[in-house]
Every structure is written in C-alpha cells, then in structure tokens.
Amino acid sequence: MRSRKFVALLCCGAMAAGLAGCGGPDSSAPATTAAAAAAGTEAGADEAKADAPAPAADEKTFTIDLATNYAADGPAGIALAKFVEDVAEKSGGSIEISLFTDGTLGSAADNYSSVASGDLDMAMTGLEGLDLYAPEYTFLDSPFLIQSQDHLQALLDSGIGDNLKARYEENGFVTLGWHQRDVRELASNKEVKAPGDVAGLKLRLPGMTVYVDTWSALNVSSTTVAMSELYTALQTKVAEACEGGYEQMTTLKLYEVQDYIAETEHVYEFVGLFINKDLYDSMSDDQKQILMDCAADNLAYADQLAEESREEYKQECLDGGMTLVDVDRDAFREALSDFYQSQFESKWTVTTYDEVMSYAK
C-alpha cells in the first residue's frame, strides 16, 4: 500500500456518497443532469456486479488511488466516476479504484510528480505535464498555434502523440488516454479583436512557461494569480483580463467582473489519464487491456460531456452580462510567426512548424 493509501481509509465514507452522484451510464446526458441520472441506475449496477467475471486465480488484486483537480460534478469528474465503476466490474473486482476529485490530493503538479515517483497510483491532469516532463512538446499548448479540436486530435493520433506518450513513460507514467477538456478564451473589460488590443494588457496567466512566453511575444504584461484569488484580482484591477474556458468563467462568476469575451479559441486544452509505470507493468495483460478499454470509453464520454456543457457555460456567461467579441485569430497567428519559428528552432525540435500545420488540413 502506497504512502497516500491511508487517505482513502479516512475519506472512503465521504467519497462513496460523492461517487454515487457523479456518473451515469447514459452517455447522452448533459453534465448538469448526468449525476441525477445515475441515481436511477443503482439496481442495474448491482445486477451487473453480480454477473461480473471473477478475477483469474493467478491475477493480483489492486487497490488504487486516482486523483484529479477537476470537480466531481464536472465532465471529467463524472466520466472518471463511471471509469471507476466500469473497471471494477470488468476486472471482476481485481482492480478497485478510489477517486479523489477537486484537488483533494494536491495540485496538478503534485499529482504528476507523485504518479511519476509511485507515491500516487493514477491521476487525470493536463497542461503542467508538458512543462514538467516534455517541454519540447509544449507547442501543443502554445496559444493560437493549434487551429481546432480536430487539428489537436490529429496530432495526438499521429506519431507526435505516440512520441509524447513515450516521453512520459520515460518519466515513470503510462498514458491511458486523452480527454479534450476545454477551449480557452480571453475575458477582459475592453474589446479585444486584434493583436494590438492586448499590448500592455495585465493578463492573468497560469504559471505555464509556454503561456507566459507566447503572450509576452504579443506585448502582454502577464501576472500570476492563484485561481482562488482570481475574482478579487480582477475586481481590484490587480489583473485586467484573464483567459480560460467557459466552465472556469461561469463557476467563478467572472461575468460579474469582466465585460467581454474575446472568442480567441487560443488553446484547445487536453488532459491525460495516467498510471504509474511500475504499477501498470505489474498487472496482467487482461488487466492492462481493461484499463485501456475503460479509459477509451469513458474519456470519449468526458469529451461528449465537455462539448455539451461548454455551450451551457457560454450561455450563462452571456446571460450574466458578458458581450461576445469576434476575433481575427489569423492576425494573432501572423503576429506570432517569428515567435513560433524561434521556438521550433530552439525548443520544439521534435517536429517542425510545417509538420504541425499539415495536420490542420
């Protein structure tokens, strides 16, 4: 049992109640109703468990902790709850997973390093991994470079995605799959339509090197503010603008302190579901396949929930008083062309600009 397993014993009662309301088998249910739908499927779940295959006599059993910073009632949290149920059922109980959402077991960076070291078994997390373990792949998160969800998916499905998985594996964790979580937009109290509009803007950014460097190339004055302090920072003008998905803007009620949404679509945010390599290697081939299959199914479910909820969150922002602004995204890409060229020559050397853009077609 790993060093953090005692947390599961302390929290299992509370988590059991949380998980019961997190997911449902109806993949067409929107994020706002999926939790409620789960309540009506308990009887069917009990029957499925009764019919579940027993683990092979020679298979080890595993009790696993899975951590994420994403909310239990958001698309990722709902899909992970169903992943936990599916793995337990299909493995005949040989793999039991305890899910910890909402940052219970530390920050995203903490989760990455803990999975790599083996102090944590599994995690779903995102952008920080490239910064920590694969800086040569941070072009995947560089603002304005990736042009669509399809463009990103094509890259992840290509040799580029496989090579990134191999890079992660060198650092101690195996990628079970990707989830296309959100699209990042720019919120501000001034209209932003073109690159000149962001010059000198005090923009709150997460502490990702590629974010800071890219926006700096647009003459933005970036500042780092904790997410828990973002609303106050915008209210008191410590920051003048922020960027992120509609989910973030809605849950933090940023429509109360920001007037405009520039629909920049500057980052198509993807996250991974990861497991410690030594743990994964100790499993049987059947158990590995169960994890991979359940991850594929439930990450696709998370993608669907994220797409559905995105429109709901966007409408909440507009209903809250924000005004949508059309943006010349090509003008931003043109303004960043020298920056992109320098990065592909010095840091993103695993590929070329031309290869990356070839997947946009």
Q: Which sign, positive or negative, has the C-alpha torsion 74, 80, 81, 82? A: positive
β-bridge pairing 202-204 and 95-100: unpaired
The pLDDT of residue 127 is 86
Distance CA 320, CA 355 (A): 41
Over the chain (361 residues), what is each successive 10-residue block's mean pLDDT?
40 40 35 39 47 67 97 94 98 98 93 97 94 96 96 94 96 97 96 96 92 96 89 95 94 96 96 98 98 98 95 96 96 97 97 95 79
pLDDT at residue 224 in the model:
87
Q: CA gyration radius for the chain?
A: 21
**pTM (2 decimals)?**
0.82
Amino acid at 130: L
Quickly count: other Cβ atoms within 10 Å of residue 97's Cβ: 24
Residue 11 has a pLDDT of 42
Whole-number pLDDT of residue 219: 97
3-state DSSP assignment of residue 183: strand
Distance CA 131, CA 153 (A): 20
For residue 57, the model assigns a pLDDT of 61
Neighbours of 361 (CB within 10 A): 7
Residue 263: other Cβ atoms inside 10 A: 17
* Residue 28: predicted pLDDT: 33
